[in-house]
A and B are shown apart, each in its own frame.
Chain A
């Protein structure tokens, strides 16, 4: 038995819209890849094009291991490592702090819990950019310039995470809390055994958002890290194009390849956690 699919114009329309959207997203990446595969001279002369060259291995070598500046510490590998630390530290820190703050606010009879929550919430109006000078001063006085702690800790207090976890915890049925109390789970056991596993979808979602947020930080790392060994990718790429603005040719191949490398971890995180996220959403019922 054959089923003949009827041809429909609407399907063509749907698909062309989708294909156009996909191209819009992919083309810049293809452009980066193209420029990373040719020599810098070629790119300088012809601009971005459609002809791929054979320079990818060489540019990869440069991107990962070449260093600028005096110390030679800011290789691509080093910057990738620094970015990873910032991304993970930032995301994990925000999740841990946000969860614990929300736990305190929702489950403990604190005198000013609601007030405390709204105070935390209003800090959304004070993003880093607004408080950057005092924050810098504090970090500097604590002697945390050019350290990972200095890079991460001032950023991990998170109204967003606290807010989302608070909403999530409030939706957990009271009965569950009471059953756990009768089952002899104290505050810490309840948090570790019940709340954390129940929140795993929320944690995954937060992790995606926060990791990318942390990974893309530019302003704060630029201020806190002057030591070349502490540069992150996002800031280092800028540095490469900047350094070479003088007499030399800009290193298009190297910086473009580094840009592609900089996109990869967030993409992988999204792909990896998305599966978790969907699985958690469909499986657990509170």
Chain B
């Protein structure tokens, strides 16, 4: 088990592109951290630096109590699960799982026992003699997991391991991976661009954008108190409503609606989650609903609040119509951001 510490870790690719700007954070022993962000934001680069597959341009990386900047991936005591599984196509499932052990000169009978144990844990025992090409996507993913856990590493690294699975299987594997990680208690870094995976699996989420870490926090912190407008719009489906507002005389107003308190007089961006706006015939907001999205368990109303686009989340039992409705904002549900920097105020 291990703690991972990054100290101003930075990555500049040989072509001069700075994929990860200096980043510092610590991952606690046994913690499940999810790196999330849009495509190209540097998640994989970050993970691959931790794995040792990519050189660290500057800064210091610690795994456990070792500085591992110059340690070979094989000697970092890590295991990695890849997006496309990266199973050895010519080896059986058993050989795939045991290959890392074999290279570490572990006696054959011990390898067999460990492979058996991992296979049992992952429900793979009946497939041990098959080749990867004879397995389904989910089973291949399990083999990749088996290859990771069989070595008892002190750190698991996952790079979008579920993105090739269909939605149903993805939900199932998500729960399995999380349960397995809990059971084994191994520190894990998990990369995804799927914010549902991030929310459901993480102990802490690291949100990245353009090579910069925007926020580090628990799923609840990231969701309810986003550190920037980027995080606000990236996390949550549908994303947080971001409205142009203005603070004057201690009041925050969007158009002529009074929403919140703020001391300084300034323009600002007002963020409200769709589910924090509730239809209320006596409410202060007048919203012009133009489109209703039916999602079964609930509905999304898309419309405008004084020419600004806004989305409201309503329960399935609530009668809805297009046209003007009145709504109220739940108390303490408003986030305020600086207009220029997008940072939380």
User: Measuring CB to CB, which residues of chain A are less than 8 angstroms from any residue of chain B?
Assistant: 173, 175-176, 178-185, 189, 193-194, 197-198, 200, 283-286
* Interfacial chain A residues near B132, Cβ < 8 Å: 285
- The listed residue (B53, B90, B104, B131) touching A184 by CB distance below 8 A is B104
- The listed residue (B73, B83, B90, B133) touching A181 by CB distance below 8 A is B73
In the complex, B79 has a CB within 8 A of chain A: yes
Given contacts A182-B78, A182-B100, whether A198 and B86 have CB atoms under 8 Å apart is: no
Whether B133 lies near A182 (C-beta < 8 A) is no
* Interfacial chain B residues near A193, Cβ < 8 Å: 99
Whether B89 lies near A198 (C-beta < 8 A) is yes
Tally of contact residues, B, Cβ under 8 A: 25
* Interfacial chain A residues near B103, Cβ < 8 Å: 183-185, 189
A sample of 16 inter-chain contacts (CB < 8 A) reads A176-B86, A178-B82, A179-B147, A180-B88, A180-B99, A182-B74, A182-B79, A182-B80, A183-B99, A183-B103, A184-B74, A184-B100, A185-B99, A185-B103, A189-B103, A193-B99
A100 to chain B, nearest CB (A): 20
In the complex, B51 has a CB within 8 A of chain A: yes
Whether B133 lies near A283 (C-beta < 8 A) is yes
**A179 CA / B74 CA spacing, docked (Å):** 10
Contacts of B73-110 to chain A: CB distance below 8 A: 73-74, 78-80, 82-90, 99-100, 103-104
Whether B131 lies near A183 (C-beta < 8 A) is no
In chain A, what residue has the closest Cβ to B144? Answer: A179
* Interfacial chain A residues near B82, Cβ < 8 Å: 175, 178-179
- The listed residue (A179, A198, A200, A285) touching B80 by CB distance below 8 A is A179
* Interfacial chain B residues near A189, Cβ < 8 Å: 103
A200 to chain B, nearest CB (A): 8
Whether A284 lies near B79 (C-beta < 8 A) is no
Contacts of B255-302 to chain A: CB distance below 8 A: none
* Interfacial chain B residues near A185, Cβ < 8 Å: 74, 99, 103
Given contacts A183-B74, A283-B133, whether A178 and B104 have CB atoms under 8 Å apart is: no
**A286 CA / B90 CA spacing, docked (Å):** 9
Whether A284 lies near B104 (C-beta < 8 A) is no
Whether B84 lies near A198 (C-beta < 8 A) is no
- The listed residue (B72, B86, B99) touching A178 by CB distance below 8 A is B86
In chain B, what residue has the closest Cβ to A285? Answer: B133
* Interfacial chain B residues near A176, Cβ < 8 Å: 86, 88
* Interfacial chain B residues near A173, Cβ < 8 Å: 84, 86
Whether B80 lies near A178 (C-beta < 8 A) is yes
B120 to chain A, nearest CB (A): 21
B32 to chain A, nearest CB (A): 20
**A122 CA / B103 CA spacing, docked (Å):** 39
- The listed residue (B86, B131, B133) touching A179 by CB distance below 8 A is B86
In chain A, what residue has the closest Cβ to B133? Answer: A285
In chain B, what residue has the closest Cβ to A199? Answer: B90
Residue from A175, A178, A179, A193 whose CB has the most chain B CB atoms within 10 Å = A179
* Interfacial chain A residues near B99, Cβ < 8 Å: 180, 183, 185, 193
**A173 CA / B131 CA spacing, docked (Å):** 18
3 pairs of A and B residues whose beta carbons are closest in the complex: A184-B74, A183-B100, A175-B86
Residue from B82, B85, B104 whose CB has the most chain A CB atoms within 10 Å = B82
Whether A198 lies near B73 (C-beta < 8 A) is no
* Interfacial chain A residues near B84, Cβ < 8 Å: 173, 175
Whether A183 lies near B147 (C-beta < 8 A) is yes
A53 to chain B, nearest CB (A): 52
* Interfacial chain B residues near A197, Cβ < 8 Å: 90
Whether B73 lies near A284 (C-beta < 8 A) is no
Whether A178 lies near B90 (C-beta < 8 A) is no
With A179-B87, A283-B131, A285-B133 already in contact, 5 other A-B pairs whose C-beta atoms are closer than 8 Å:
A175-B84, A176-B86, A179-B86, A183-B147, A193-B99
B88 to chain A, nearest CB (A): 6
* Interfacial chain B residues near A184, Cβ < 8 Å: 74, 100, 103-104
Whether B53 lies near A181 (C-beta < 8 A) is yes
**A183 CA / B82 CA spacing, docked (Å):** 13
* Interfacial chain B residues near A285, Cβ < 8 Å: 89, 132-133
Contacts of B225-246 to chain A: CB distance below 8 A: none
* Interfacial chain B residues near A284, Cβ < 8 Å: 89-90, 133
B104 to chain A, nearest CB (A): 6
* Interfacial chain A residues near B85, Cβ < 8 Å: 175
Whether A182 lies near B88 (C-beta < 8 A) is no
**A189 CA / B88 CA spacing, docked (Å):** 13
**A200 CA / B86 CA spacing, docked (Å):** 19
A258 to chain B, nearest CB (A): 41
B205 to chain A, nearest CB (A): 25
